[in-house]
Structure formats: structure tokens, C-alpha cells
Amino acid sequence: MAIVVQRPKLKWWEHLYLPALFSGMKVTLGHFIATVTRKTKVTMQYPEEKWDANLPEHYRGAPALVTDEHGRERCVACQLCEFICPPRAITIKPEEIPSDDKWAKVEKRPRAFEIDMIRCIYCGLCEEVCPEQAIFLRKDYAITGTSRAEMVHDKGRLYEIGGVRTGLVNKWNELK
């Protein structure tokens, strides 16, 4: 069944080309005057000015590993972030903690932890699935490198850019 749409009746001046042209020029002239009189800002001077103060609360940036307030790594090498990562940007190689260590009850720690920032889609699934809150998305949007090798962040680099987070870490809880 066809639906018939009735076209509105146009006035005689709406059939002409010139009124539409003049209304478009009026909008363009208004933008030009606002720019010349500096009422609106058009360009951000990127290296000097950044969006950091204007980022929305829900912004998801690049993932990084964090340590607790005592400098110990939070990651237990459960590999949940590696398994849930859609583009497979995370690679973890776990190792066992020696039995003579005070925290041998934890059993595992990451020997190698790499995130390929070229493959990462910044979805935030790794942060959501982490049981120890060891991986966080930082509010950073300027991730650069001169080669592909520089864009693969290893464990040391991830801890360096991640920083310290405070709060209860189940891994180091002696009651568990």
C-alpha cells in the first residue's frame, strides 16, 4: 500500500532562488562577524591548549596499570582482561610467585604485560572485568609514537603512566 505525501503549497517568493540565497548569506555573514569580533573561538592551539578541563566525566581514555599505595602491583595475572579484549590488544604472560615470598598465597603475577595501543579500541571492558582494579582508563587522548614498536606499551611503561591508586586490594588482604 502506497502512502501519498502531500507537498505543502509554496508562496510565490518561495519558488524563487534569490530569497534562499540571501538567507544563506545572512547566516554566513553572521558567523563571519562573530569570528572577526572574537565572540566565538574557532581554533584550539593544540600543544599549548588541551581539552583536559573540558573532557566529559564518562570519557574513556587509554588503559594503564596501577600500583597500590605501597608500590606493589595490583595485577594477579588472571588474564580476564586479555580474554575479554575484542581486538586482542592485551597480552599477559603469568608467572608464579616463589613459595618463600610473603605473598605466595596470591599464586600468580604478570611476568609480561603488554597493550598494543594501535589495536586498542578504548572500549573499557578491561577495566570493568578486572577483579583487583589493576587496570584503569586514564583521561589521556594524545598517545603518540614514531614507530609501531613504541605503541606497544610493556609492563614498566604501563605502571609508569598509570600511577598509584588507593583503596582495598584483595590480593594483598591478609584475611583472604
Give domain status of residue 69, yes or no.
Answer: yes
Between CA 42 and CA 29 the distance in angstroms is: 15
Domain count, the chain: 1
The pTM of the whole model exceeds 0.75 = no
Give domain status of residue 18, yes or no.
Answer: no
> What is the overall mean pLDDT for the chain?
86
Instruction: Tell me what percent of the residues of the chain surpass a pLDDT of 90.
Output: 39
The phi and psi torsions of 151 (rounded to 5 degrees) equal: -85, -5
Q: Dihedral through CA 114, CA 116, CA 122, CA 125, nearest 10?
A: -40
Give domain status of residue 23, yes or no.
Answer: no
pLDDT number for residue 176: 46
Overall average pLDDT of the 48-73 stretch: 84
122: domain CATH number is 3.30.70.3270
CB 131 within 8 A of CB 78: yes
Give domain status of residue 40, yes or no.
Answer: no
Give domain status of residue 45, yes or no.
Answer: no
Give domain status of residue 106, yes or no.
Answer: yes
**DSSP assigned state of 79:** -
- Which residues is 116 bridged to in the sheet? 152
Give domain status of residue 66, yes or no.
Answer: yes
pLDDT number for residue 169: 60
Residue range(s) defining the domain that contains residue 155:
57-169
Between CA 1 and CA 46 the distance in angstroms is: 56
Give domain status of residue 138, yes or no.
Answer: yes
**End-to-end CA separation in angstroms for the chain:** 68
**DSSP assigned state of 157:** H
